[in-house]
Structure 1
């Protein structure tokens, strides 16, 4: 399918690795000019270079988003964009209710929620003036299905869903849409290590093809029986970022294989 992204410019935050890099690569493959963003200059530049080597068009910007001044610098470097993908964020499954301090709650809220709001405030008004734009938040299935671990992270994903719907209402009839993709597990090097360790602790070893379904049943059971690949989630983001999705706004697209609680 042609997503009609040629001529569009997209900023993908936190795209120097992982899901963000996959989103940036797919948007570029669909014809968009992509602005790769990260905090590590070498990794960010490398992602942009790989996109260009594959025939895409990519710039890159480097910097944090943890203050208004920092967000100003990133937005200024990025320039006007048609698509904003707020992907930057972090999680820490080792944290729980009793080991997570109030300051850590504030820090993750600043990174996972307020950083995205800063860029919305800086980049979306121009989209509205041009009568076309896309804002796509990356959330998590833990907004609807919070677990005991990392309560501060789970709560930020609920906030992202809420602000997505609020922004859609604010931008009604403007040509600018606001949507969210909520993945469950995503296969990355880090997640693969964790899934493998949990499976081994429960007596399951072998190839990844043997380990994956057993680990999924233990950690994130879903009706597909595996975790999503970054490229699959990127496909959902690219669709919502495109003119093909003109009639969708205020939507949370669950991308979790129909996760359930075992």
Structure 2
């Protein structure tokens, strides 16, 4: 299927590793000109160079989206190359802290990094999309937005906020030709997740090899209908569809890519 992304310029925040890297790789393979964002110049450049070596189009923008100045720099650099047709708000972070160990500062920093950072980019790029009468805003959320765990509550809450703001934005953009949607991943095997599971797996009796740890985690930690964990390319595929002109009748929606995840235990 031709997703009609050739000629579209797409900014994916936090795309110098993990899910974001998978997104820009797939979007570039579909013909889009991708804008790789990060705070580490070497890592972002390595991702962009790999794309151009493979025949794709990629450029790099750098900046800390937790500050107004950083967001200004990213938006200015992104727009310098032409209009941004699609914004994928992917950047974010979390720490594993408990309810009683988390501090108000933890909550403030997580909200700043996971929610306000995306708002900054929306406010800087969406007016241009509205003016052109076409655009896509895709927010990367997560299953913990609606089925939170008892741990890292500050992160769970920011995912819920991301889902909420994306729907509010869709209402704001009604009739403009710009849509706003959420891609909600389940447990996806990126380096950070794999490292965590390899660390906790032996203590939980899941074994020591990755294959057995993943199988056990998919049954006990993130039970779902597929019986496995997801892969970054599966999230990237969902993003590519929502970025496409083919998705024009979808707005204010949450596309779950989580294997049918249902939380059964804390």
- Normalising by the residue count of structure 2, what TM-score does the alignment of the two structures yield? 0.95
Structure 2 counterpart SS, 1:119:
helix
Gaps of 5+ in 1: none
Give, in whole Å, the separation in 2 of the partners of 1:203 and 1:161: 35
Structure 1 residue aligned with 2:45: 45
Alignment of 1:116-131 (within 5 A): 116-131=118-133
Structure 1 residue aligned with 2:89: 86
Structure 2 counterpart SS, 1:135:
strand
Give, in whole Å, the separation in 1 of the partners of 2:253 and 2:67: 28
Q: CA deviation at 1:257?
A: 0.8
Q: CA deviation at 1:213?
A: 1.5
Alignment of 1:41-190 (within 5 A): 41-79=41-79, 80-93=83-96, 95-190=97-192
Give, in whole Å, the separation in 1 of the partners of 2:221 and 2:206: 13
Q: CA deviation at 1:58?
A: 0.2
Q: CA deviation at 1:210?
A: 2.8
Structure 2 counterpart SS, 1:100:
coil
Give, in whole Å, the separation in 1 of the partners of 2:222 and 2:180: 27
Q: Provide the aligned length of Structure 1 versus Structure 2.
A: 261
Q: CA deviation at 1:91?
A: 1.2
CA contact (8 A) 1:161 1:180 kept: yes
Give, in whole Å, the separation in 2 of the partners of 1:215 and 1:98: 25
Q: Could you report, residue by residue, the CA deviation over 1:78-130 in whole angstroms, capped at 9, with x for unpaired residues?
A: 1130000000000112x011111111111111110011101100100110111
CA contact (8 A) 1:195 1:216 kept: no
- Normalising by the residue count of structure 1, what TM-score does the alignment of the two structures yield? 0.97
Give, in whole Å, the separation in 2 of the partners of 1:204 and 1:20: 29
Give, in whole Å, the separation in 1 of the partners of 2:85 and 2:129: 6
Q: Could you report, residue by residue, the CA deviation over 1:28-86 in whole angstroms, capped at 9, with x for unpaired residues?
A: 11111000000001000000001111111000011101121211111000113000000
CA contact (8 A) 1:196 1:215 kept: no
Q: CA deviation at 1:240?
A: 0.5
Structure 2 residue aligned with 1:200: 202
Structure 1 counterpart SS, 2:246:
helix
Structure 1 residue aligned with 2:6: 6
CA contact (8 A) 2:84 2:129 kept: yes
Q: CA deviation at 1:161?
A: 0.7
Q: CA deviation at 1:207?
A: 4.2
Gaps of 5+ in 2: none
Q: CA RMSD in A?
A: 1.1
CA contact (8 A) 1:198 1:215 kept: no
Give, in whole Å, the separation in 2 of the partners of 1:215 and 1:201: 12
Moved more, 247-256 or 202-211: 202-211
